Amino acid sequence: MNPFQELKKVPPMKGVAWRGEVSLWNIDTAVSRLYDRAVESRLMFRQPAVGLRHDGVEAPGMFRSDYEILFPLPETAGETPHGVEVRELPEEEVASFIHRGPYEWIPCTYEKVLDWLRENRYEVAGVPREVFFVAPEPHSGGTQDDMITEIQVPVQKAA
Protein backbone atom coordinates (compact mmCIF):
# COMPACT_ATOMS: atom_id res chain seq x y z
CA MET A 1 0.00 0.00 0.00
CA ASN A 2 1.31 3.44 -0.98
CA PRO A 3 1.05 5.80 2.04
CA PHE A 4 1.13 9.00 -0.10
CA GLN A 5 -1.95 11.15 0.45
CA GLU A 6 -1.40 14.61 -1.08
CA LEU A 7 0.80 17.66 -1.59
CA LYS A 8 -0.44 20.52 0.58
CA LYS A 9 0.51 23.68 2.41
CA VAL A 10 0.52 23.49 6.21
CA PRO A 11 -0.03 26.75 8.10
CA PRO A 12 2.44 28.20 10.59
CA MET A 13 2.08 26.86 14.13
CA LYS A 14 3.10 27.97 17.59
CA GLY A 15 3.34 25.34 20.29
CA VAL A 16 4.67 24.37 23.69
CA ALA A 17 7.69 22.18 22.99
CA TRP A 18 10.15 19.63 24.32
CA ARG A 19 13.21 18.30 22.45
CA GLY A 20 15.48 15.41 23.32
CA GLU A 21 16.66 11.94 22.39
CA VAL A 22 14.00 9.23 22.30
CA SER A 23 13.58 5.69 21.04
CA LEU A 24 10.60 4.41 19.06
CA TRP A 25 9.34 2.84 22.29
CA ASN A 26 9.35 5.93 24.52
CA ILE A 27 7.90 8.68 22.34
CA ASP A 28 4.54 8.17 24.11
CA THR A 29 6.29 8.72 27.48
CA ALA A 30 7.84 11.96 26.21
CA VAL A 31 4.42 13.11 24.93
CA SER A 32 2.87 12.33 28.33
CA ARG A 33 5.57 14.30 30.17
CA LEU A 34 5.08 17.36 27.94
CA TYR A 35 1.31 17.04 28.38
CA ASP A 36 1.70 16.96 32.18
CA ARG A 37 4.03 19.98 32.13
CA ALA A 38 1.58 21.96 29.96
CA VAL A 39 -1.36 21.07 32.22
CA GLU A 40 0.62 21.96 35.37
CA SER A 41 1.44 25.33 33.77
CA ARG A 42 -2.28 25.81 33.03
CA LEU A 43 -1.65 26.18 29.31
CA MET A 44 -4.55 25.85 26.94
CA PHE A 45 -3.37 23.86 23.93
CA ARG A 46 -4.94 22.09 20.99
CA GLN A 47 -4.70 18.53 19.76
CA PRO A 48 -3.24 16.71 17.94
CA ALA A 49 0.35 16.64 19.14
CA VAL A 50 3.07 17.08 16.52
CA GLY A 51 6.51 15.47 16.44
CA LEU A 52 9.54 16.82 14.57
CA ARG A 53 12.09 14.28 13.41
CA HIS A 54 15.35 16.28 13.44
CA ASP A 55 17.31 13.27 12.14
CA GLY A 56 15.57 13.69 8.77
CA VAL A 57 13.53 11.38 6.57
CA GLU A 58 15.85 8.40 6.65
CA ALA A 59 14.25 5.46 8.43
CA PRO A 60 14.07 6.45 12.11
CA GLY A 61 16.60 4.93 14.48
CA MET A 62 14.99 2.33 16.69
CA PHE A 63 16.94 3.25 19.81
CA ARG A 64 17.85 6.91 19.51
CA SER A 65 16.44 9.85 17.55
CA ASP A 66 16.68 13.61 17.93
CA TYR A 67 12.98 14.33 18.38
CA GLU A 68 10.83 17.32 19.31
CA ILE A 69 7.24 17.24 20.49
CA LEU A 70 4.81 20.17 20.28
CA PHE A 71 1.31 20.78 21.53
CA PRO A 72 -0.18 23.53 19.33
CA LEU A 73 -1.27 26.67 21.16
CA PRO A 74 -4.40 28.57 20.14
CA GLU A 75 -3.83 31.81 18.25
CA THR A 76 -5.22 33.71 21.24
CA ALA A 77 -2.67 32.21 23.67
CA GLY A 78 -1.31 34.77 26.08
CA GLU A 79 2.09 34.71 27.71
CA THR A 80 3.55 31.37 28.57
CA PRO A 81 4.82 30.65 32.08
CA HIS A 82 8.53 30.87 32.89
CA GLY A 83 10.38 27.65 32.08
CA VAL A 84 7.99 26.52 29.35
CA GLU A 85 9.55 26.45 25.89
CA VAL A 86 7.47 27.75 22.98
CA ARG A 87 8.43 27.06 19.38
CA GLU A 88 7.12 28.52 16.14
CA LEU A 89 6.99 26.48 12.94
CA PRO A 90 6.77 28.19 9.54
CA GLU A 91 4.21 27.59 6.82
CA GLU A 92 5.52 24.83 4.54
CA GLU A 93 4.68 22.93 1.37
CA VAL A 94 4.62 19.24 2.33
CA ALA A 95 4.03 15.82 0.91
CA SER A 96 1.59 14.06 3.24
CA PHE A 97 1.77 10.34 4.02
CA ILE A 98 -0.40 8.23 6.34
CA HIS A 99 1.04 5.63 8.72
CA ARG A 100 -1.48 3.21 10.23
CA GLY A 101 -0.57 0.94 13.10
CA PRO A 102 1.95 0.83 15.93
CA TYR A 103 4.53 3.56 16.01
CA GLU A 104 7.27 0.92 16.10
CA TRP A 105 6.37 0.12 12.47
CA ILE A 106 6.89 3.70 11.25
CA PRO A 107 10.37 2.93 9.80
CA CYS A 108 8.58 0.77 7.18
CA THR A 109 6.41 3.74 6.19
CA TYR A 110 9.47 6.00 5.98
CA GLU A 111 11.04 3.53 3.54
CA LYS A 112 7.96 3.99 1.32
CA VAL A 113 8.18 7.78 1.75
CA LEU A 114 11.78 7.70 0.52
CA ASP A 115 10.73 5.58 -2.48
CA TRP A 116 7.92 8.04 -3.33
CA LEU A 117 10.27 11.04 -3.11
CA ARG A 118 12.79 9.39 -5.48
CA GLU A 119 10.13 8.17 -7.94
CA ASN A 120 8.44 11.58 -8.10
CA ARG A 121 11.65 13.62 -8.15
CA TYR A 122 11.18 15.53 -4.92
CA GLU A 123 13.78 16.35 -2.33
CA VAL A 124 13.37 17.10 1.35
CA ALA A 125 13.28 20.83 2.12
CA GLY A 126 13.00 20.84 5.92
CA VAL A 127 12.32 18.85 9.07
CA PRO A 128 9.66 16.11 8.76
CA ARG A 129 6.61 16.45 11.02
CA GLU A 130 4.52 13.64 12.46
CA VAL A 131 0.95 14.50 13.43
CA PHE A 132 -0.57 12.06 15.92
CA PHE A 133 -4.24 11.89 14.89
CA VAL A 134 -5.36 8.68 16.58
CA ALA A 135 -3.67 7.19 19.62
CA PRO A 136 -4.89 4.06 21.37
CA GLU A 137 -7.52 4.70 24.01
CA PRO A 138 -6.81 2.31 26.90
CA HIS A 139 -10.34 2.63 28.34
CA SER A 140 -12.14 2.08 25.04
CA GLY A 141 -10.37 -1.15 24.14
CA GLY A 142 -8.32 0.49 21.38
CA THR A 143 -4.95 -0.93 20.44
CA GLN A 144 -1.84 0.39 18.74
CA ASP A 145 -3.18 -1.15 15.52
CA ASP A 146 -5.77 1.68 15.57
CA MET A 147 -3.12 4.45 15.56
CA ILE A 148 -2.98 6.95 12.68
CA THR A 149 0.02 9.22 12.20
CA GLU A 150 0.37 11.69 9.33
CA ILE A 151 3.95 12.17 8.16
CA GLN A 152 4.44 15.62 6.61
CA VAL A 153 7.67 16.01 4.66
CA PRO A 154 8.61 19.54 3.48
CA VAL A 155 9.47 19.12 -0.21
CA GLN A 156 10.67 20.87 -3.32
CA LYS A 157 11.09 19.57 -6.85
CA ALA A 158 14.56 18.12 -7.40
CA ALA A 159 16.80 20.05 -9.79
Average pLDDT over residues 89-111: 92
Q: Which of 41-55, 87-101, 136-150 has the lowest mean pLDDT?
A: 136-150
pLDDT at position 134:
78
Dist CA 34 CA 40 (whole Å) = 10
pLDDT band at 26 (very low <50, low <70, confident <90, very high): confident
pLDDT band at 141 (very low <50, low <70, confident <90, very high): low
- What string of DSSP letters covers 55-68? T-SSPPPSS-EEEE
Single-letter code of the amino acid located at 157: K
Give Cα 119 to chain centroid, integer Å: 24
Give the pairing type, strands 148-157 and 13-22: unpaired
Average pLDDT, the chain: 86
pLDDT at position 58:
80
pLDDT at position 65:
87
Q: Which of 7, 8, 6, 14 is nearest to 90 (CA)?
A: 14
The answer to whether 57 and 115 have CB atoms below 8 angstroms apart is no
Q: Which of 8-12, 20-24, 50-54 has the lowest mean pLDDT?
A: 20-24
Q: Which of 85, 82, 106 is nearest to 33 (CA)?
A: 85
Dist CA 84 CA 58 (whole Å) = 30
